[in-house]
Amino acid sequence: MEQHSTACPLDCPDLCGLTVSVENGRVVDIQGDRRGPITDGFICGKVRKFTDHLYGTDRIAAPLVRDGAKGSGLWRTVSWDDALTLIATRLQLIRATSGAEAIVPYHYGGSNGWLTDGGLAMRFFRRLGASNLDRTYCGAATTVATQGLYGRMPGVALEDYEHAKLIVLWGVNPAATSIHLVPVIDRARANGAKLVVVDPRATPLARRADLHLAVRPGADVPVALAAIHALFTRGHANRAFLAEHAAEVDELERRASAWSIEDASREAGLDPADLDAFVELYARSSPAVIRTGWGMERNRNGGSGIASVLALPAVAGKFGVRGGGYTMANNDAKWGVSAEAGIAEPTPPTRSINMSQITTALQTLTAPKIECLFVFNCNPVATAPDQRTLIEELRRDDLFVVVHDQVMTDTAALADIVLPATTFLEHRELRRGYGVMRMFDSPAVVAPVGEARSNNQLFGALLERLDMVRPGDAMTDEAIVAQVFASAPEGAALQAELAASAVATPSSGARPITFVDVLPGTPDQKIHLVPAELDREAPGGLYTYHPDPRSEEFPLALISPALATQISSTFGQLRSAQASLELSINDAAVRGIQTGDAIRVWNLHGEVHCIAKVASEIRDGVVVLPKGLWRKHTANGYTSNALIPPNVADLAGQATFNDARVQVARR
Ligand code: SF4
């Protein structure tokens, strides 16, 4: 038995170091190590059972070409050479007849590192002149809102939550999506910290919190603005801090004055006494940290919601102490080196397509029409809005669909060509955390299953086939990594740190104290509470609240949180349980629904047939159907994505996965 050190590059903020046991060339055990600051020797069940994914029956072992109608399940195994020839020939034909913008790369985090979430794929599609893709499933609104207010400024390190006296979890459920934060929160509470959870659901942490604000989905703006208004009017605003470090203070104060505690509570469905208690607790606690999650940005008000919540620590002056301030969902650090240097290929001035509106693009774009969707690191049938339309479009005979994936996903099942991809244990990865502020170099620990190839191997081969390799191009993982580290003065030290321990810390420090070690990354290093650019972009201006769109026909707000057993749709093939829609006791009673009933959930975009689960954790007016489910998990082959319209939030084209309105009835 051999033991190898590597790291988990999956889309998760915890960034665990791993010890992988290998016997006779096969992975037999995966455990967490202690190289990262919060893993503490244990990992989630998802990765502990990764061998089920690695060696499962759904794993794709060789290139496949469809041998019947799309989606028929009939495939012919071909060699990589033949598959690459077919793809290269078709791409060249499309480029020659319609232009390369007719080709759309469709990709997301996948294994989420610098080598697989970009790399030669980006060089290939950029050099080809394909359409660009705006990646807006997660973090688009959060990123622009945070950078508008603070520039690029690292937030509170997860390990520093232990120092906080108040922890506010706003639209995030670490028990499912960042399990190592839970013991840190518990240690803080043992030291006297209070916990507030803002979430429409009574999550496990909400149930044992000191205060739970079960806001209606999309009503975070009035709640945060009312809190800001109360901080100003009750003398809790830190005006000295604001005078020194913030701009547009008066304008924020003016806009927040539109919301009283009572009005905001009515809109959000809260008890005004609870919102009042939150304001007083927040004002009087230090250090106080707010952790924002993805839940809040995924609605019509998502950008303004994030901005208003992140304005709270500025108004109350919560920075300047360890454990005080905010941690946004995609907390970042200053690394001094960037993955772009490894690709060395500028983004072409070709059109951009919002991945959350891919169905609209497939249906309406002309000059040129989309003729090829090249999918990698992504399973859009399970993750994109407007699922019913997407499935219809993927079935089009005039749309050439290539999927590079590890297992036969719902999207791969509708492809023309499916290529086998390596997992993170079979290729090298370089990954910086977006929760834990570290970087890991994670080597492959076993040979690939079957003929699986990494993204860089696939797109390196296509660059060669289409004669697009230029002198000096870094073409191997090693050469790309070397180019990344050679791109900036900090690179050599980072590389040396990685060589010594396989984990590196950023130039801004792994646990910076904001306004002590780091300042806002805005040009004047001030906080901009009403940044002009965001104010222009948001319909009606930043902090505008667009009311709840519920109607008599569709009165229930559908939210789609993450499953604890999956990373979005990844590992969905391993789930056998059928999907359950959770609804409140009252909403179930008026519809005559009981747990276990076969139900239908529908709106104008689609319909899902699943099982009812009546749950006391769900507030009235809200129903929950998890994200990431596969078609086999419902009775009619559609998931929550079939109910999600291709609408976008107020900033950055953000997807609105938590903003559908639906009706529910027994089947
Ligand atoms: S998914 Fe998250 S918790 Fe699980 S091993 Fe990876 S980093 Fe750790």
How high is the pLDDT of residue 193?
98
* Residue 262: CB atoms within 10 Å: 12
Q: Quick one: fold of 64-136+336-427+449-475?
A: Rossmann fold (3.40.50)
Which stretch of DSSP H or E encloses residue 481?
helix 477-486
Contacts 24+ apart (CB under 8 A), 117-120: 117/339, 117/377, 118/339, 118/340, 118/342, 118/343, 119/339, 119/342, 119/343, 119/455, 119/456, 119/459, 119/480, 120/343, 120/455, 120/456, 120/459, 120/460, 120/463, 120/475, 120/480
Give yes or no for residue 44 CB within 6 A of ligand 1: yes
pLDDT digits (tens, 9 = 90+) for 422-437: 999 999 999 888 889 9
Nearest 5°: the CA angle 72, 74, 78 is 140
Q: In this structure, are residues 249 and 530 in contact, taking their beta carbons and an 8 Å threshold?
A: no
Distances (CA, A) of 384 to 95, 267, 646: 26, 29, 9
How high is the pLDDT of residue 267?
98
- Give the Å distance between the CA of 203 and the centre of ligand 1: 20
pLDDT digits (tens, 9 = 90+) for 63-96: 999 999 999 999 999 999 999 999 999 999 999 9
Which residue ranges make up each domain of the chain? 2-54, 64-136+336-427+449-475, 156-327+518-537, 556-666
> Mean pLDDT over all residues of the chain?
96
Predicted confidence band of residue 111 (pLDDT cuts 50, 70, 90): confident
Atom of ligand 1 nearest to the CA of 12: 2
Distances (CA, A) of 100 to 96, 127, 129, 354, 364: 8, 10, 5, 17, 17
Four-way CATH pick for 556-666: 2.40.40.20, 3.40.605.10, 1.10.287.3510, 2.40.30.10: 2.40.40.20
How high is the pLDDT of residue 117?
85
Helix (H, G, I), strand (E, B) or coil at 419: strand
pLDDT digits (tens, 9 = 90+) for 336-370: 898 899 998 999 999 999 999 999 999 999 999 99
Its CATH architecture, for the domain 2-54, is 2-Layer Sandwich (3.30)
pLDDT digits (tens, 9 = 90+) for 179-199: 999 999 999 999 999 999 999
Nearest residue CA, atom 7 of ligand 1?
A: 15
Predicted confidence band of residue 113 (pLDDT cuts 50, 70, 90): confident
How high is the pLDDT of residue 507?
81
How high is the pLDDT of residue 329?
77
Which stretch of DSSP H or E encloses residue 276?
helix 272-284
How high is the pLDDT of residue 634?
98
For the entire predicted model, the pTM comes to: 0.96
pLDDT digits (tens, 9 = 90+) for 543-598: 999 999 999 999 999 999 999 999 999 999 999 999 999 999 999 999 999 999 99
How high is the pLDDT of residue 535?
98
For residue 58, which of 378, 418, 387 has the smallest C-alpha distance? 418
Which residue among 15, 29, 47 has the greatest number of ligand 1 atoms within 8 angstroms of its CB, and so is best to mutate? 47
Which residue among 44, 180, 568 has the greatest number of ligand 1 atoms within 8 angstroms of its CB, and so is best to mutate? 44
Q: Quick one: fold of 156-327+518-537?
A: Dimethylsulfoxide Reductase; domain 2 (3.40.228)
Beta bridge partner(s), residue 17: 7
pLDDT digits (tens, 9 = 90+) for 645-666: 999 999 999 999 999 999 999 9
How high is the pLDDT of residue 338?
87
235 pLDDT higher than 80: yes
Average pLDDT, integer, range 604-628: 97
Q: In this structure, are residues 314 and 245 in contact, taking their beta carbons and an 8 Å threshold?
A: yes
299 pLDDT higher than 80: yes
- Give the Å distance between the CA of 13 and the centre of ligand 1: 8
112 pLDDT higher than 80: no
Nearest residue CA, atom 8 of ligand 1?
A: 16
